[in-house]
Structure 1
Amino acid sequence: MSVQPRLQRFNQNVLSKYQIYNSIFMTLPFDSITKTGVLLPLFHETCKNGFKNGENPTTIVDTFFSKYQARRNKESQINLLFRFIQYIERQVVLFDAIEDAAFPVVHNMDGIGTLRNLKENARAESQLEQLRQYLEEFKVRIVLTAHPTQFYPGSVLGIITDLTKAIKETDLTAISDLLAQLGKTAFYKKKKPTPYDEAVSLIWYLENVFYYSFGSIFDYIQQNIFENKDIDNNIINVGFWPGGDRDGNPFVTPQITKKVANRLRETILKNYYRDVRKLKRKLTFNGLEERLGKLERKLYNSFVDEDASPQISLHDFEAELKDIRTLVVEEHQSLYLTEINSLLNKIKLFGYHFAILDIRQDSRVHEGVFNTLAEGLIASNSAIFPKDYFQLTAKEQVKILSEVKGSVDVSQFNDEDLLKTFDTIKVVKEIQENNGERAVHRYIISNTQSTLHVMQLFAMLKLAAFKDDLTLDIGPLFETVPDLEIAHEVMEELYMNPAYAQHLKERKNKQLIMLGFSDGTKDGGYLMANWAIFKAKERLTEVSRKYNIDVIFFDGRGGPPARGGGKTHQFYASLGPTIEAKQVQLTIQGQTISSNFGTLESSQYNLEQLISSGIYNKLETNLAMTEEDRVVMEEMANISYKKYVDFKNHPMFVPYLERMSTLKYYAKTNIGSRPSKRGKSDTLKFEDLRAIPFVGSWSQLKQNVPGFYGVGTAIKQYEDRGEFDKVEALYKNSKFFKTLVENSMMSLSKSFFDLTKYMSEDAEFGPFWDIIHEEYQTSKRLLLKLTGSKALMDNQPAGKASIDIRESIVLPLLTIQQYALKKIQELEKEDPKDKEKIKVYEKLVTRSLFGNINAARNSA
């Protein structure tokens, strides 16, 4: 049977269905919806034609009202714009649900990168044993973060799930009811979520998606690759940041961390309870039904009170199930053996913790806490630190911290940060005792710049709770380009430190190192951030191998390519032998969770792609870059870096973002518990900008600067010198560079400069807009030339089609947003006292953010 091309499958199963179901909106029994539904296509057409004719958003909106709605007063016009926003938000939800429903049809669930494909290829090439050996040590960990890149409240996520199911079943009555429900459901949160709220909303994915998709992947590996033998390695696991990540979030307290850990344990126990109940209905054999009944009661009693300790230990739970399995094999012809193995596999994957909670804090906070602690202890004549500690060199201080002993009573201090830090460490110890060590076994230090930063935490962990048994991995996070350049030196000093080396020995000689793409891109631009991380990984691999340490890289990746996202599995398949890759670990956030892992099919498919990418990288032998290619890559990264640094140092850079973009409106959206910028200054500084609002603001402008800026300039220098063939050779030879190019083309394809062309005529910002536009044109022209493409993303037609439809849906939203921003600027100049009018337009901007971001889910 021939399989249709992916684009054809997409058009039939997504585009056609969207056109049919979108028309149902028009038939809903709400007058305002019907009128909006009739007028929106006219407004959409006005926007499309207006931009084609070089008109600005203000002219487009005014034209629409004068042509089609001339009798409306100003207030009525604004109300209609708000209704357009609400209607488009719901169109985006409908498109999300249709795409989710069509996922297994559009994607080949047995195709390249899936486990079935991997197994068949290994069998054909007599590499099954090699594949088994690799799977016995390889791991994938996706870490869910609460970083706010999606704006759906929980109620809307529930509707998307139900709508996806109804669309799969072509249940027109349910679809109609759900669209009506959608019309009456609020899309924005009246108040900011707490970190606990964020945790609960992500635990929904664990309970309803990951429990099943992780389980079925592990079952498949065990049954089909290991021929039903037990596997020691758990291969796939999930990490969790809400409730543990306190970097820049003052609302994450020790109490919240404990509460989240308890909720995670309670949820996994509920899932086990349900599975044991199902088993009890099947294993109705003499003796077994009673044993399963006891298990069921113990599990039930363990989660009814979330603060109570489990009535059965994890070890005893697993042992009892294994006993039952033995009896089923020996006495009952292995009846329902698959179901027992499946539950045992889930216990191996999820323990009593469900997801592994990471603790994260900024080195600057630690440093402040540590200094307060040391000063206080020295002042009170404690023997823990010598009196001249602060006069010692950094190396001498590290030596003191390596040998630190004793415990500290922090009740004598009244510093809030110090008390929270020490309470957090005590809570970590408590969670390990209640939920198992795997429940929380990593402490990540953001903004690590020195060995001292690591050893300050090392000492505090021991003094607060762990003494001589430090059952935590310390993971430095290197983010900026300068920090990445010295990362290997920091790690070598740590590896040479006897106390830290002993700690690593006790942790099976494994060292976690996190690298931040988001802040790297913000700091150094797209090309340099990716190349700087690549080189840092090579140097860190080399120094770790020298000291016989297994280095585990954990990538802080966002959704769009500008934050290290894009086609993630292609990236991991392209790294080559100079970078350690026994584990793939990356952050998943916001719309990336729902778009890549939000359904059973998409979760399973994308997890399998990550597993196979790591294995492909290991088995492929020709991924190493040649010396000639490295020279070209290095020079292009440096050219690009200089171009980007000059750009970000431009006097108009911060004012442009502050006054011409949606940057300051992110704080008003109530989508995340974390403040939208660092620091408390009223003046906006570049270093205080968080990566998500920073990248998001460029995305809302449809300029996507962090995903391409500097790339065109770098390639153009080679073209000008008549050496374009060197860049072509790099593109042909290096899968790493090819992946960067394709991800950058995705950023370019989602840019739309006609939207903000009016800014080129602005006396203040016009020349700055021209700089961005020129780099966009240069990058687009040269990337098309380099890849031999006629259009951006023409080698990914289904992906391009999805982006094109989403961009078309939100075109009116973008127009309304720019119209409102322009009105705010005019009012602030003409009549700054008219606060009420300004407020209305600000609300238009804020509300338009939601749909635009949600529509960009395929940036992941």
Structure 2
Amino acid sequence: MTDQAVERRSAAVVEMPDELRRDVKLLGRLLGDVIAEQGGKDLLADVERLRKAVIAARRGEASADEIAAMVAEWEIDRAVLIARAFTCYFHLANLAEEHYRIRTLRERDAEGEVLKESLAHAVQELGTARVQELVEELELHPVLTAHPTEARRRAVVTAIQRVSTQLTEYNSPGRGASEREESLRRLLEEIDLLWRTAQLRDTKLDPLDEVRTAMAAFDETLFRVVPQVYRSLDAALGEGTGTRSPLARPFIRYGSWIGGDRDGNPNVTAKVTREAVLIQAEHVLTALETATTRIARTLTANAQYAAPSRELRSAISTAEDAHPDLVSELATRSPQEPHRQWLLYVAARISATNQRDLDLAYRAPAELLADLRLAQESLAGHAARQAYGELQHLIWQVETFGFHLAELEVRQHSQVHATALAEIRAGGALSPITEEVLSTIRVISWIQERFGVNACSRYVVSFTRSADDVAAVYELAEAALGMRAPVLDVVPLFESGADLDNAPGVLTGMLEIPKVQTRLDTTGRRMEIMLGYSDSAKELGPAAATLKLYQTQERLTEWAREHEVKLRLFHGRGGALGRGGGPANRAVLAQAPGSVAGRFKVTEQGEVIFARYGHMAIARRHMEQVANAVLLASSPTNGSRTAAAAARFRSLAEQVASASEGAYRALTEAPGFPEWFALVSPLEEIGSLRLGSRPARRGLGAPRSLDDLRAIPWVFAWAQTRVNLPGWYGLGSGLASVASVEELRAAYEEWPLFNAMLDNAEMSLAKTDRSIAERYLALGGRNDFAGQVMAEYDLTRKLVLQVTGHTRLLENRKVLSRAVQLRDPYVDALSHLQLRALTALRKGEVSEREAERLSTLLLLSVNGVAAGLQNTG
């Protein structure tokens, strides 16, 4: 029996909590009822046969060959239905786990304990005075991106949310028998609809579809959760929250690349960028109007008990002079309720802003804030709870989201700018691509005129190689609009190993650019740069890239200190471990000392957006965890401790990085590797999933090198093979290069970066299945490559366990271990179905009709495995 097989059996010690087991069992039973109703009991029997077989294989009581033979017996259409069944099961299992997490959070909250990694915990750890000092510089800046890593259709996500609502209803305490029976009926109805909803998209998303999808997270969660996070901090900083002026200031700012990121995506045009901002504005103004109207309608305090201030009375009088009919109507509806009248008037003005009624509209968020604070100051004298309760939440929402919701950022490749400038300087006719570059700058100017500079001023330059790449954007802006060029903060993006090494020199060159000098003077010498985790990991391997990025952060922090620049690092991280993913709070604490300084900006994309922001309780917990980590990482005490560990283990880290990169490049740069990778994985087929509007690769045809392939399909495809190579490959060779295991253990114990790197690799290794991975790798017909991959896996697994001191993977991470254990057998089932389809397609000995059906089976299994592993890219 292999080490992994032994580990599978020992993993059974991770018990599932009763509440979670109950929900999983209930949802699974109801799904079984639906399958039997729709497909017949024989279909359910086949699903159960496969389910029991993969569980038996996990126990060493069945072989992969036996399962493959079973799967091969079924007609393709039958296999498709079975794949759908397991995919639906994963959606329901994920939902049950989410509900368990929410219940656990609420139970802890009900007990009154200070949750670890919360804002209250940060205050407890650092002290009120220190946190109040840090809060002045605190800024969290999540940036939503449209990178195609969400495998589920929006219709499927919505169906799951309806199941979630009914499960909450069913589990609500104190319900009578008839109420529970009705809840159960509705729950079954929604699961039936989930089963009948197509899992695969028929059409490719366009960029504005992606914008609207992201708006769902704002409408359902973000708008409401942000003030709750501020309230948590305010309560932790001092008693009396809700009855005094807040001690917490708004520190969250959202950004978006959706509709602005045109690097490699020709579907994102200037027109799309303009429309994206308008969609965002419509959603935030609608939300602000709704919230203001709700508060106004409940604010029935009579003037006798909450006398309006002289300033408010004067403002109402001025409003009546300007809009007599409107104000008269409000006074008639709300007699002797001046604060209610005023807020209803404010709501009418927000509505007019949304409708572009310039006679009544607000010109800027500052005007709205002034009107809200006028009401707040009036109430503070006689009704403090009304002043600093829900009205304060509304003020925080305006301060956070403005009228644009999220700052739309533009991104384009440096080579596009270079080509455009060459054409402009030549003075001849301009190509459509160059015209589009100029149109984009004009749209940025229009956005700033309409919504203010904060709505769109950052321009990210991919593959920045020199300061000239930054200067090019400013020159293009002048070419587009001359003296009327928009305000721009050009953000260099460093992605490759060489670019990361050159980053400080590029920044020094930027200081010589007049437009950059002007912006530094205007912003208090603030500068932003972006670090790319995805492409650096694809080029160097996960361990070498992690250590290279850390070293770069150290050098950039020192550069900023020398040049008296307040540098903000923008972390371009993906959701998967091979793209810089992993727990966000641990990632913050693992940053180089001084590099955080109260500011953390990071990309959020695909399935990560809905995993973190799909539910209020989970969104609040995530945001508090990250804020907690930023505060702790910005503390001098933590910084000193981390700096000491980094200095002690610097030579060890360089040794690990060098050896791991060597092993990684020996595989990925070997002749024939890209072609082999395309054969052993569903790489080619992933493009058919229509995950997003962005092309999956640069250029056409099969990839000739890794440079042709984007990081997302690279990681996505390896996850499907159950190898998860981008999350761990090379680390074993890196660890093996260090003679002393004790020194490695000391680095793991003392250095947050090394600890996070090994724990993330352990997570990726836990999602790797050796026996199934070997079946995928065999499809390429290269035993040398397959043997190389599996040998590195065995070495990495062995040494990670030695260094961490664990007897099995994820031994110290009970929740994650349970999640993997719950899903693994069912992912196995889908992997076997996928292997059947992939094997037949790779042989090519099938009719066109059969190939089409096999492709459907393959794509359904890809979708299901993504749901089961909960990371796609």
Answer yes or no: same fold by TM over 0.5: yes
In the TM superposition, residue 714 of structure 1 has moved relative to its aligned partner by 1.2
Structure-2 separation of matches of 1:356 and 1:515: 19
1:78 counterpart = 2:76 = yes
Residue matched to 2:49 = 42
Seen in structure 2, the aligned counterparts of structure 1 residues 473 and 181 have a Cα distance that, compared at 3 Å, is same
Structure-2 separation of matches of 1:466 and 1:151: 44
Residue matched to 1:316 = 367
TM-score if structure 2 supplies the norm length?
Answer: 0.87
* 1:622-663 deviations in Å (ceiling 9; x for gaps): 111353410000111011111111111112310122111111
* 1:166-189 deviations in Å (ceiling 9; x for gaps): 222323232111101112211211
Structure-2 separation of matches of 1:646 and 1:350: 48
Seen in structure 2, the aligned counterparts of structure 1 residues 760 and 587 have a Cα distance that, compared at 3 Å, is closer
Seen in structure 2, the aligned counterparts of structure 1 residues 700 and 370 have a Cα distance that, compared at 3 Å, is same
Q: Is the 8 A contact 1:144 1:239 kept in 2?
A: yes
Residue 866 (structure 2) aligned to one of 839, 850, 853: 853
Q: Is the 8 A contact 1:247 1:361 kept in 2?
A: yes
Residue matched to 2:38 = 31
Residue matched to 2:116 = 112
Residue matched to 1:404 = none
* 1:514-539 deviations in Å (ceiling 9; x for gaps): 11111111010001111111111111
Q: Is the 8 A contact 2:554 2:593 kept in 1?
A: no
Residue matched to 1:512 = 528
Q: Is the 8 A contact 2:163 2:190 kept in 1?
A: yes
Corresponding residue pairs, total: 799
**Mind listing any 5+ residue stretches in structure 1 that lack a counterpart?**
1-6, 67-75, 380-412
Residue 222 (structure 1) aligned to one of 215, 234, 255: 234
2:659 partner letter:
I
1:479 counterpart = 2:479 = no
2:25 partner letter:
Q
In the TM superposition, residue 469 of structure 1 has moved relative to its aligned partner by 6.7
Residue matched to 2:136 = 136
* 1:316-373 deviations in Å (ceiling 9; x for gaps): 2111111111221224464364111110111111111111111111111111111111
Q: Output the aligned Cα RMSD.
A: 2.5
Structure-2 separation of matches of 1:95 and 1:11: 14
Structure-2 separation of matches of 1:231 and 1:245: 37
1:415 counterpart = 2:466 = no
Q: How does 1:173-572 map to 2 (within 5 A)?
A: 173-225=185-237, 228-230=244-246, 233-284=249-300, 285=302, 286=336, 287-304=338-355, 310-311=361-362, 313-332=364-383, 334-335=385-386, 337-376=388-427, 413-465=429-481, 467=483, 471-572=487-588
Structure-1 separation of matches of 2:568 and 2:56: 52
Residue matched to 1:622 = 641
TM-score if structure 1 supplies the norm length?
Answer: 0.89
What secondary structure does 2:262 align onto?
coil
In the TM superposition, residue 771 of structure 1 has moved relative to its aligned partner by 0.4
In the TM superposition, residue 602 of structure 1 has moved relative to its aligned partner by 0.9
In the TM superposition, residue 305 of structure 1 has moved relative to its aligned partner by 6.4
Seen in structure 2, the aligned counterparts of structure 1 residues 758 and 315 have a Cα distance that, compared at 3 Å, is closer
Structure-2 separation of matches of 1:309 and 1:856: 52
Residue matched to 1:671 = 691
Residue matched to 1:685 = 705
Residue matched to 1:394 = none
What secondary structure does 2:28 align onto?
helix
The worse-fitting range, judged by mean Cα deviation, of 157-166 and 574-583 is 574-583
Structure-2 separation of matches of 1:307 and 1:775: 66
In the TM superposition, residue 497 of structure 1 has moved relative to its aligned partner by 4.2
In the TM superposition, residue 236 of structure 1 has moved relative to its aligned partner by 1.0
Q: Is the 8 A contact 1:713 1:775 kept in 2?
A: yes
Residue matched to 1:637 = 657
1:479 partner letter:
E
1:121 counterpart = 2:141 = no
Q: Is the 8 A contact 1:652 1:768 kept in 2?
A: no
What secondary structure does 1:87 align onto?
helix
Residue matched to 1:772 = 789
What secondary structure does 1:169 align onto?
helix
In the TM superposition, residue 61 of structure 1 has moved relative to its aligned partner by 3.5
Structure-2 separation of matches of 1:223 and 1:47: 50
Structure-2 separation of matches of 1:616 and 1:466: 45
Structure-1 separation of matches of 2:561 and 2:237: 30
Structure-2 separation of matches of 1:749 and 1:334: 51
In the TM superposition, residue 541 of structure 1 has moved relative to its aligned partner by 1.2
Structure-2 separation of matches of 1:309 and 1:320: 13
In the TM superposition, residue 295 of structure 1 has moved relative to its aligned partner by 1.8
* 1:826-859 deviations in Å (ceiling 9; x for gaps): 2x2xx47x33322322222122111111222268
1:622 partner letter:
R
Seen in structure 2, the aligned counterparts of structure 1 residues 683 and 54 have a Cα distance that, compared at 3 Å, is farther
What secondary structure does 1:249 align onto?
coil
Structure-2 separation of matches of 1:752 and 1:647: 20
Residue 814 (structure 2) aligned to one of 797, 811, 831: 797
In the TM superposition, residue 468 of structure 1 has moved relative to its aligned partner by 7.4
Q: Is the 8 A contact 1:432 1:440 kept in 2?
A: yes
Structure-2 separation of matches of 1:95 and 1:48: 16
Structure-1 separation of matches of 2:342 and 2:868: 50
Seen in structure 2, the aligned counterparts of structure 1 residues 165 and 466 have a Cα distance that, compared at 3 Å, is farther
In the TM superposition, residue 607 of structure 1 has moved relative to its aligned partner by 0.7
Structure-1 separation of matches of 2:633 and 2:385: 38
Q: Is the 8 A contact 2:550 2:592 kept in 1?
A: no
1:19 partner letter:
K
2:190 partner letter:
L
* 1:517-568 deviations in Å (ceiling 9; x for gaps): 1111101000111111111111111111111111101111111211101122
Structure-2 separation of matches of 1:309 and 1:698: 56
Q: Is the 8 A contact 1:481 1:520 kept in 2?
A: yes
Seen in structure 2, the aligned counterparts of structure 1 residues 9 and 55 have a Cα distance that, compared at 3 Å, is closer
The worse-fitting range, judged by mean Cα deviation, of 696-705 and 460-469 is 460-469
Q: Is the 8 A contact 2:230 2:249 kept in 1?
A: no
What secondary structure does 1:237 align onto?
coil
**Mind listing any 5+ residue stretches in structure 2 that lack a counterpart?**
1-12, 171-182, 303-335
Structure-2 separation of matches of 1:556 and 1:696: 17
What secondary structure does 1:474 align onto?
strand
2:823 partner letter:
R
2:681 partner letter:
S
Structure-2 separation of matches of 1:13 and 1:495: 58
Residue matched to 1:749 = 766
Structure-2 separation of matches of 1:326 and 1:527: 55
Q: Is the 8 A contact 1:57 1:818 kept in 2?
A: no
Residue matched to 1:382 = none
Q: Is the 8 A contact 1:713 1:779 kept in 2?
A: yes
1:165 counterpart = 2:216 = no
Q: Is the 8 A contact 2:496 2:536 kept in 1?
A: yes
Q: Is the 8 A contact 2:102 2:618 kept in 1?
A: yes
Structure-1 separation of matches of 2:591 and 2:77: 52
Structure-2 separation of matches of 1:836 and 1:104: 46
2:195 partner letter:
G
Seen in structure 2, the aligned counterparts of structure 1 residues 333 and 817 have a Cα distance that, compared at 3 Å, is closer
In the TM superposition, residue 489 of structure 1 has moved relative to its aligned partner by 0.8
